Structure formats: C-alpha cells, structure tokens
Amino acid sequence: MAGVGGATTAETWAGLSVLEKLADEAAGCGTPLKVTVSDPTVLPIAQDILWRAYTRNGNPEGYDPTQVHLVSPDAMAYAAGVAGILERETLTANVMIGSFGDEYLLMGETGARRGVRQIVGAADPRTLTFVYASADETLMGEEMFAGGAYTRRLPIQIASLLAEDWARWAVAAGILVIAVLEIAL
C-alpha cells in the first residue's frame, strides 16, 4: 500500500525483501505468482525482482511482467481490487507485507472467508488488531522488517539481527543496573 520515497518506504522494502524469496521459490517450482502493488514507484522494482528470480533459476523465458499488477493508488480501491483477486482466483496463500490501514480489513476478511492461508506483516498498531483477527500468521512491527533476513538466510543479515538483539539486551541490562544503583544509593 505504499511506495518508495515516502514515510512508509521501510515497510515497502520489507515487503519487497520477502517478495524476493517468494519469487525465487515460485520460479524454482514453476508456480505462478500474483503480485499486487498500489504505487507506481514499486511496479518496476517488483517486476525486476520477479525477472531476476526467473533468471537465477534458469528460466528467464518463464517470466511474465503481467504477474505484477498495479491495482490503484487509492487505499480503498486497492483493497477492493485485491479482494476481487482473492475472490476470483484459486490461491494457495496470500502474503501481505507493507503499510496498511483500515482498508486491510476488506482484504484480510475476504482471504479468511475463502480459507486462503494468510501471512501478514504490518507496523501500524491500529491495523494489527485487524491483522491478528484475520491472518494465520502475523508479523508485528520489527518482525516484518526482519522477515526478509529470516527467509533468505543470508549470514550477514542474520548476524546483523543477532547483533541488534544483543545490543538491545545490553541497553536493557544497563538501564536495569542504573535503576538498581539509583534505588540503592
């Protein structure tokens, strides 16, 4: 639901990072992949991710740029378009990672009603209540940003996540030590 170059660029890149792994899996198995975007800045990036996946898997002629659909930049129109795809198509799973608002409910409930397995990542706390109610798997906040690293399993990205976790624990321990010293003195 967002583009590149705005306040929600990080959410967009998180979705594109997971798309890279999904595209590799789909290209390797010969499984068609449907990708929807709402912002024109994301369309060529998503198409390039798919093209590279098919090329890496030795099947560049299997790439079809129409697998990536620019639905609409308007949030509700985008949600209605995605809900229509979820309603009409026979899908195995639905992965939605990015910046979503209240419009998510239309997409999420359509997928849940159809029995499509849904994995959803969102950072907005107001949207997470809808996501939690309708998705099979929920990536909350920073889990969404780490999703690409965990799915692609690149050692440098995993090391970065571990270093961030250790730094977080070190800061928490430091705060706890300072608080104890303040109380004791």
| pLDDT, tens digit (0-9, with 9 covering 90-100), for 11-36 | 888 888 889 888 998 898 888 889 99
Pick the closest to residue 36 from 97, 92, 87, 88 (CA basis): 97
The answer to whether 156 touches 134, Cβ cutoff 8 Å, is no
pLDDT range class, residue 43, cuts 50, 70, 90: very high
Range with the poorest average pLDDT among 61-65, 131-135, 159-163: 159-163
Q: What's the whole-model pTM score? A: 0.76
Q: What is the pLDDT of residue 172?
A: 94
CA-to-CA distance for 7 and 139, rounded, in angstroms? 20
Query: Is residue 152 scored above 90 in pLDDT?
Result: no
Please identify, in words, the CATH class of the domain defined by 9-153.
alpha beta
Find the mean pLDDT for residues 153-175. 82
More confident residue, 79 or 138: 79
Task: Please report, as a single letter, which amino acid is at residue 32.
Answer: P
* Average pLDDT score, the chain: 86
Average pLDDT over residues 52-77: 90
What pLDDT, on the 0 to 100 scale, is given for residue 18? 87
Region of poorest pLDDT, from 23-32, 41-50, 125-134, 144-153: 144-153
For residue 40, what are its two tokens? Answer: 């024109």
pLDDT of 169 above 80:
yes
pLDDT value at residue 7: 64
Say what the pLDDT of residue 99 is.
85
What interhelical angle do 155-184 and 142-152 show, nearest 10?
140
